[in-house]
Chains A and B, each alone.
Chain A
Amino acid sequence: MTSTQPRGDVAVDGAPAGDPVLRVRGLSAHVAGQQVVEHVDLDVAPVGVTALLGRNGVGKTSTIKAVLGLIGRSGTVELDGADLVHLPTHQIVQRGVGYVPEDREVFSGLTVTDNLRLAERRGSRHRYDLVYDLFPELQERGAQAAGTLSGGQQQMVSLARALLNDNQVLLVDEPTKGLAPRLVQEVSRVLARAAQVAPILLVEQNLQVVRDLAQHAVVLTDGRSVHHGPAADFLADDALTQRLLGVHAEGGGEPTDGGSGHTGEERA
Chain B
Amino acid sequence: MSTVVLLLFTGVGLGAIYFLVASGLSLIYGLMHVLNFAHGVFLSLGAFLGFEVASRLGASTWTGFAASLLVGALAGAVFAALTERVLVQRLYERHIEQVLVTVGLGLGAVALFDGIWGTDPRFISGPAWMSRTTHILGANVPNDRFVAILVATLVLVGMVLFLQRTRYGMIIRAGVENRAMVTALGIDVRTAFTLVFTIGGIAAGLGGVLASHYFGYVSPLLGQTLLIFAFIVTVIGGLGSLTGAAVASLLVALLQQFANYYLWGTGDLAVVVLLAVVLLTRPSGLMGRRA
A interface vs B, CB < 8 Å? Answer: 68, 70, 88-90, 93-94, 99, 101, 105, 107-110, 114, 117-119, 121, 161, 165
Interface residue? B33 (CB, 8 A): no
Does B174 make an interface contact (CB < 8 A)? yes
Residues of B within 8 A of A110 (CB): 170, 173-174, 177
CB pair A70 B178 closer than 8 Å: no
Q: Which of A89, A108, A117, A165 contacts B184 (CB 8 A)?
A: A89
What are 9 sample pairs from A and B whose C-beta atoms fall under 8 A apart?
Answer: A70-B184, A89-B180, A93-B183, A109-B177, A110-B173, A117-B167, A117-B170, A118-B187, A165-B186
B188 within 8 A of A: yes
Main secondary structure of the interface of B (DSSP, over half): helix
Q: With an 8 A cutoff between CB atoms, is B171 at the interface? A: yes
Minimum Cβ distance to chain A for residue B37 (Å):
26
> Is B107 on the interface with A (CB-CB < 8 A)?
no
Indicate if the CB atoms of A121 and B174 lie closer than 8 Å.
no
Complex-state Cα separation, A260 to B177, whole angstroms: 40
Report B50 CB to chain A, min CB distance, Å: 35
A119:B185 contact, CB within 8 angstroms: yes
Complex contacts, A108 vs chain B, CB 8 Å: 177
Among residues of A, the one whose C-beta sits closest to the C-beta of B177 is A107
User: Which B163-202 residues have C-beta < 8 A from chain A?
Assistant: 167, 170-171, 173-174, 177-178, 180-189
Do the beta carbons of B177 and A93 come within 8 Å of each other? no
* Minimal beta-carbon separation of B108 from chain A (angstroms): 31
Residue from A68, A110, A118 having most chain B Cβ neighbours under 10 A? A118
Asked if residues A89 and B178 are in contact (CB atoms below 8 Å), the reply is no
User: Please, how many angstroms separate the alpha-carbon atoms of A68 and B182 in the complex?
Assistant: 12
Q: Apart from A101-B181, A107-B181, A118-B182, what are 16 other A-B pairs with CB-CB below 8 Å?
A: A68-B184, A70-B180, A88-B183, A89-B183, A90-B186, A90-B187, A93-B183, A101-B184, A107-B174, A107-B178, A110-B170, A110-B174, A118-B171, A118-B174, A119-B185, A121-B185
